[in-house]
Chains A and B, each alone.
Chain A
Amino acid sequence: MPIITANKLQDSYDVVIVGSGAGGGQTAYTLTMEGLKVLILEAGRSFDVQSEVAMLQLPSQAPLRGEKTPDKQYGFHDCSINSGWDIPGEPYTNASKEPEDQFRWWRQRMMGGRTNHWGRITLRNGPYDFKPRTRFDLGFDWPIGYDDIAPYYDKVEMLIGVFGTNEGLENSPNSSPGVLQPAPKLRVGELYAQKHGKKVGAHVASIHRAVLTKPQDADTLPAKLHPGNAKAQSILADSMRTRSPCFWATDCHRGCAIRANYDSQTVHLRPALATGNLDILPNAMAREVTLDKQGRATGITFINKANGSEGHAKGRAVVLAASSQESVRLLLNSKSNAFPQGLANSSGKVGKYVTDSVSSSLGAHIPAFEGMPIHNEDGAGGPHAYVPWTLHAQNRKGELGFPGGYHLEFGSGRQMPSLTTLNGIESRLGHEGVLFGAKLKEEARRFYGCQIGFGGQGTMLPNDGSFCELDPELKDQWGIPVLRFHWKWTDFELNQVRHQQQRIRELLEAMGGKVAAKADADVSKLIKRGGEVIHEVGGAIMGADRESSVTNQWSQTWDVKNLFMADGAPFASTADKNPTLTIMALAWRMADHLMDEMKKGNI
């Protein structure tokens, strides 16, 4: 079974999955390795990671030095095609016109979805992150705890390959022994932040990222991941052996032709296809989940983008992994007599409780780095270190004015120059006027490589003002009603950003940096807009009962028992961790449950 065209669809599949990213990829992998016949519908085109990604091309080899344009909204060499905040023919709306109430929605219309261009940061949620109601009397407790998901974190990390260290930190859990790949050496800027961060209580640790630093152990990992399944072990071993470790160059956002970092195609879809149990239909825009008279999902109606015709794919179970809000949109657009408010929406909670990472950033010039002996600082195409959240004591005392916390990501050193590399050269070096000529060249050498920028990514608990619904009028180019977003930051998020700014300032000053920005800046202008971190989750949250949530702890909708969610939609809150690893762990756990239910004859 391969990548197919619509006329090659089988009559029926065991499971139809919408979306080929982290959640859809993981679900397809888990199910096909166990012998289920699976179809993935992908809205974008097929994409060949090995031949299409631009790894070593320079900015001067791209139009406009590779700067972002409406066609390539993260820049020319970023591994995103037909993707963006604004996609022609695929609008969405915002209910409010206020700038701070806007939600921005990134869509990635290509095989593998957003896994093609992410930063590969794979942090585990900790025990606290699942229980905000218990800890802070805010938000909702997830119906699972860390112990329920920990085995799946281990499995996903072994499968995709994650480097990092076990730091034994409160609420930033260790991986099991033997799971992590070796962490790369820290760069000068990272070591310098580690040393001087201590002065202000910032713990700089090795980060976890889905990049191979050595070949995967194809001799032992497959047996750990698929005990008793010789075929799965053999397929996975073959797949692992075709992955090269990192060659220590190029930004991971460009994609990875040598398969050193994780993307869904490289790690999930390739072995899943090798089982012979997976069909993938690209250019298929899902429109509606279909139901039978008993109220069970029967499949997906889709638009074949190649010719505009409508098709239907049948399955015994349906898994939505189209990205959290696209899956929500599918539910809301699947109206029937049984579900006049949209599918699986008897609670009225579909679309509610959308959250994103709370983020702001600040940077400075570090004079100590001037004149640094020149050396190659590329490393593993992204950060090797980060600042995890450690202020749990203040959390417990309620001193902070916000629940949860944030981690800091940062970049430093002589990175590949871009058109904007010298931005801020005058202000940060204390020049008035405009540098040019020999003096500019001299100051450019002094300035370059001495900038450090930190960005916070923190907890957001659900609120009643941040949700989406169907726009009452607007439809996309295929006539499918579009989403209308409502967005409200609460004082918690604004307080957190105030704290982020202060903490980053302290950290920069501890490193000898002079921060140009004013300390009393308006935080509602500094906070990144809703959706801008591209960590939006929720909208079909999991919970303990069918009145207050859309799915149970297995991401199985309460109302339709053969309908599951496998993206960020079931997240009941955003942690101070990036969501992708948790999406994959939950998807694997969901897929195991789905197979159990099928074996028991419940689906």
Chain B
Amino acid sequence: MSTPDDLPRMDRRKALQWMLTATATMAVRDPSLFAADANAIKAQGYGPDPVMVKIYKPGDVWPLTLAEPQRRTTRALCDVIMPADETSPSASALGVPDFIDEWISSPYPAQAGDRRLVLEGLQWIDQEASTRFGKTFPDLTLEQQTAICSDLASAKPLPEYKKAVTFFKRFRDLTAGGYYTTPEGMKAIGYVGNMPSGTFEGPPLEALKHVGLA
């Protein structure tokens, strides 16, 4: 498993350049300079004839774009959604934040809406955390983080949370989907296939009994 620091992060490098330029010329403290924005991605996709057998990881085909503060919030939110338990690891331990970064950094049109939604959502949830608890989301206790998420996940969320709820639901889908498509996630959910075998024996007796077929 690669650590996040192994991954190319174009915007972090850009941000560092900007920061150096900015401090050299004037005291710019606009935090948006240090964060990916929702503008369209200009990178190239993998094209219609990619090497299918290759093993890819996020960042291999197009650069990741989240700046470090956004990555911290992403990691924290991923782990509230998919925490570690006694049998399976947390989402961040499985590299799910990198996948989310890859997803929202994708040059394809289907992900452009998610990019805006996620970037604005991350900003919203940090602001909400600051308003409620005086710290950004990743610096909250798990109870505080869960309190915010529970409000968004509620059956009847407050009307002012409408957009944040849309973000949370989509972020949840990406986190859970990203999680269960890894080898550890597959094990956690109960997928034991993808194993070549000489024979196919069909369902075991206990499975048939389970549904009244034996």
Contact = CB atoms under 8 A, between A and B. Distances in A.
Interface stretch (A443-451, A513-521, A594-602): A443-451
Given A247-B196, A373-B204, A373-B206, A81 B190 contact: no
Contacts of B152: 434
Given A71-B47, A376-B197, A445-B189, 11 more contacts: A53-B53, A62-B56, A69-B46, A70-B45, A81-B50, A247-B197, A247-B198, A248-B200, A418-B181, A434-B152, A448-B189
A420 B177 contact: yes
Interface stretch (B3-11, B66-74, B164-172): B164-172
Interface string A444-460: 11001100000000000
B133 interface: no
Given A188-B211, A188-B213, A417-B180, A376 B195 contact: yes
A421 B180 contact: yes
A82 to B, nearest CB: 5
A76 B213 contact: no
A5 interface: no
Contact of A432 (B108, B155, B192): B155
Nearest to A417: B180
A111 B46 CA distance: 21
Interface string B165-208: 10011001110111011110110111111111111111110111
B45 A372 contact: no
10 contacts: A54-B52, A58-B194, A71-B46, A76-B52, A249-B194, A415-B193, A435-B153, A437-B82, A441-B188, A445-B188
Contacts of A224: none
Nearest to A80: B48
A52 interface: yes
A250 B200 CA distance: 13
Interface string A408-449: 000000111111111100000000111111101100110011
A437 B81 contact: yes
Contacts of B149: 436-437
Interface in A353-380: 368-369, 371-380
Contact of B202 (A186, A369, A416, A433): A186
Interface residues on A, range: 35 or more
Given A184-B200, A440-B82, A418 B177 contact: yes
A416 B181 CA distance: 8
Contacts, number: 225
Contact of B52 (A53, A195, A378): A53
Q: Which of B58, B108, B201, B207 has the most CB of A within 10 A?
A: B207
B80 interface: yes
Interface in A143-158: none
A422 B176 contact: yes
Interface in A363-406: 368-369, 371-380
**Most chain B CB inside 10 Å of its own CB: which residue of A62, A187, A369, A418:** A62
A422 B177 contact: yes
A374 B211 contact: no
Contacts of A184: 200, 202
A201 interface: no
Contacts of A308: none
Interface stretch (B15-23, B27-35, B98-106, B116-124): B98-106
The 4 closest A-B pairs by CB, nearest first: A185-B202, A432-B155, A419-B177, A378-B193
B158 to A, nearest CB: 13
B16 to A, nearest CB: 26
Contact of A440 (B48, B81, B210): B81
A4 interface: no
Given A434-B153, A434-B172, A435-B153, A248 B196 contact: yes
Interface in A548-575: none
Best-buried of A249, A419, A435 by chain B (most CB within 10 Å): A419
A250 B106 CA distance: 27
A481 to B, nearest CB: 23
